[in-house]
A and B are shown apart, each in its own frame.
Chain A
Amino acid sequence: MIPNTVAAARTELLERGSTLVDRYRSVSPLGIPGTVGLALIILGAVIQPFHLTLLTRIVILGIFCMAYDLLFGYTGVLSFGHAMFFGGGAYVTAVTLGELGSVPLLGVLLIVAVAAIALSLVAGAIAFRTKGVYFAIVTLAIGQFIYLVAIRLQYIGGSSGYPVPGRPSTILPIDINDPYVFYVITVVALVATYLCFRRLLDSPVGQVFQGIRENEQRVRMVGYNVFHYKLLVFTISGVVSALAGSLYAQFVLFASPSNLDWIMSGEVLIMTLIGGAGTLVGPALGAAFFILIEVLLEPITGLWYMFVGLALLLVIIFLPRGIVGLVTDD
């Protein structure tokens, strides 16, 4: 019944010529993303430290999920190896800070981005020789290969992971060791990611990505080199995922092998699907849903992970467009 009510309300608004969202967009100088970002920053200032920790995790994973959805929801390519980027970003960050000492934040992010570009190009060149389900399994194997090598390299801590000695310095006069300041940085990164992706998806290149999802053969027949476009979107997604991983390592001050494991690749897919694949907001909501289930159910029952699995199955069968599909057509 509820979706019907929402649909009716929406139809009514559309008939009046605009939705609430449209009206808000026309009066607010910040725009919707800026307003949401500002709201998150204000929210972070008033909540307790424990909740701030949760919110920071959600925001960082939200960036990861958004990057994942650029590939999965918008281009129709299912990678089951995205932990290689997230965990790779975390490890590169930890090892850079651990071995080189004080490196500025921008320097760390630049190193992570360069490493992620290299990894995307190599992994993509191998995996895009196949497509569909095979692509998923090939990326899974590449990711797991990296995981299995990483936990055997004593230089990067082996199976016990690699601690981050401290957060990097910044060019701004702020101290990112302060939890709230660090949180604000992650929110800015989330909003920036959203705006960049929005712009990208509206551009001709972004249209080609979505064309590949709709009908790859037709895009090829029109004359686009589908392989190059897929490699491009894989690289963009990989770089942003690695940057999210870098933020995560700086946040928890640790690069863990579990960031690289294939379960992490499965979880980003779960969050994206539950939130709503093919949207930019949905995946971030999915990350929030996932973390909230974990936090709310873990103290009550040892079975919280089973509820994640059940939620995923129910969403796939009954809500193909995820949580955001309940309230919007976007």
Chain B
Amino acid sequence: MAASYNMDDIVVNSIRALFNGVSYGMILVLMSIGLSLVFGLMGVANFAHGEFYALGAYMGFFAFGLTGNFIVAMLASVLAVAAVGGAIEATTIRPLYGRDPLIQIPATFGLAIVMVEVIRYVWGSTSHPFPVPELLSGTYLVGGMAFSTYRSFLIVAGTALTILMWLFLVRTQYGLVIRGAIFDKEMVESMGYRVSRAYTLLFGLGAAYAAIAGVLIAPLFGVFPGMGTQMILLAFIVVILGGMGSFKGPILAGLLIGVLFGFGQMFVGAWAEVVPYALMILVLVYRPRGLFGTKGVFQ
């Protein structure tokens, strides 16, 4: 009897780890899609992407404090951060396109520093709690197990937004231009499309997705100045692990890391944080282009 009880325990814990992992993985996916597209199209490894996520959370926190409405907070945050993203691309990233692509790493790192400090200046160094919207609070029971309503909402929202981005990329004219330009920018330009405008749009769109991720995660962990810095490394791991030149790469890698993280927390505690890094290094040893990368794009 004792043995079967332990078996149940493992099953219950595993389901919980899976559920927590997928909901966290969805946040990683939303973060990484934008990062991956900007990386793929523009060759910019955007270290400020994590700060779009942090700024999104703070903007949401600010708008939620004003209106008390989660939907309004989310929309306000997304619009504001998309505008900030577009403006940053036009003023700071654009002057660097003719230069060595490596220079964009310190440039976006400098941007990240400035953005963190601005956040710290405006909202202070301490963490602020962000309430779970009333409609989405609490838990529900399935087969005797309690699941968090809010984490379920994360999974649904993340899936919907990912599908929306996919539809944008494969069903619209703009998406076609972006996909084309990832593989051959000059060819797309010579057909009369202004790829530089797509750059600004995509940068803003990536920032908007990061902002959504920030607002969505805020009710779980609160908002604090270091949240973007913490997240950007994981997002890069997801992008590299997933591989370049593939849309499903960052999605599957994000979910994989989320789930491993969930199981890691359940079984190895604080060591779970090490898991994504170890996984990435291991995968790179055997498969330098990542799990789903197109051959040649990565190496």
Residues in chain A within 8 A of chain B (CB atoms): 76, 78, 80, 126, 129-134, 136-138, 140-142, 144-145, 148-149, 152, 262, 266, 269-270, 273, 302-303, 305-306, 308-310, 312-313, 316-317, 320
Question: How many of chain B's residues touch chain A, expressed as a range?
Answer: 35 or more
B210 within 8 A of A: no
Judge if B92 is at the interface, Cβ distance under 8 Å.
Answer: yes
How far apart sit A295 and B170, CA to CA, in the bound complex (Å)? 53
With A78-B105, A148-B274 given, name 20 new contacts (CB 8 A).
A76-B100, A126-B284, A129-B284, A129-B288, A133-B39, A133-B102, A136-B102, A137-B236, A138-B281, A140-B236, A144-B233, A148-B277, A270-B106, A303-B117, A305-B113, A306-B117, A309-B112, A312-B110, A312-B113, A320-B103
Q: Could you tell me the distance in whole angstroms from the C-beta of B54 to the nearest C-beta in chain A? A: 15
Specify which chain B residues have a CB less than 8 angstroms from the CB of A141 in the assembled complex. 233, 236-237, 240, 277, 280-281
Selected contact of A80 from candidates B105, B121, B281, CB within 8 Å: B105
Interface residues as binary, B215-238 with A (CB distance below 8 Å gives 1, 0 otherwise)? 000000000000000000100110
Contact A152 B270 (CB under 8 A): yes
B274 touches A149 (CB 8 A): yes
> Would you mind naming 5 contact pairs between A and B with Cβ atoms under 8 Å apart?
A129-B285, A132-B101, A134-B298, A140-B233, A152-B271
Q: Known contacts A130-B288, A316-B96; is A145 also within 8 Å of B281 by CB?
A: yes
A310 to B117, CA, bound (A): 11
Query: Which chain B positions have C-beta within 8 A of A145?
Result: 274, 277-278, 281
In the bound assembly, the distance between CA atoms of A8 and B273 in angstroms comes to 56
Q: How far is the CA of A266 from the CA of B299 in the complex (A)?
A: 24
Task: Using A149-B274, A306-B114, A309-B113 as known contacts, say yes or no to A130 and B106 having CB atoms under 8 A apart.
Answer: no
Query: How close is B18's CB to chain A, nearest CB, in angstroms?
Result: 24
List CB contacts (< 8 Å) of B232-283 with chain A.
Answer: 233, 236-237, 240, 270-271, 273-274, 277-278, 280-281
Interface-central residue, B107, B113, B120, B271, by most chain A CB under 10 Å:
B113
Q: Assess whether B73 is interfacial by the CB under 8 Å rule.
A: no
Contact B43 A133 (CB under 8 A): yes
Task: Indicate if the CB atoms of B273 and A310 lie closer than 8 Å.
Answer: no
**Chain B interfacial positions (CB closer than 8 Å to A):** 39, 43, 45, 92, 95-96, 99-107, 109-114, 117-118, 120-121, 233, 236-237, 240, 270-271, 273-274, 277-278, 280-281, 284-285, 288, 298-299
Partner of A313, one of B111, B277, B299: B111
Chain B interface SS verdict (over half): helix
Given contacts A141-B237, A148-B273, A317-B95, contact A136 B105 (CB under 8 A): yes
Q: Which residues of B contact A152 (CB under 8 A)?
A: 270-271, 274
Residues B113 and A316 in contact, CB atoms below 8 Å apart: no
Bound state CA distance, A134 and B299, in angstroms? 8
Shortest beta-carbon contacts, A-B, top 7: A309-B113, A306-B117, A312-B110, A145-B277, A309-B114, A129-B288, A313-B110
Q: Which of A76, A136, A149, A309 contacts B111 (CB 8 A)?
A: A309
Q: How far is the CA of A317 from the CA of B43 in the complex (A)?
A: 18
Which B residues touch A317, using CB under 8 A? 92, 95-96, 107
Residue of A nearest to B244 (CB): A134
Cβ contacts under 8 Å, B95 to chain A = 317
Whether B121 contacts A303 by the Cβ 8 Å rule is yes
B114 pairs with A310, CB closer than 8 A: yes
Specify which chain B residues have a CB less than 8 angstroms from the CB of A266 in the assembled complex. Answer: 106, 109
Least distance between A65 CB and chain B CB atoms (Å)? 13
CA of A303 to CA of B117, assembled, Å = 7
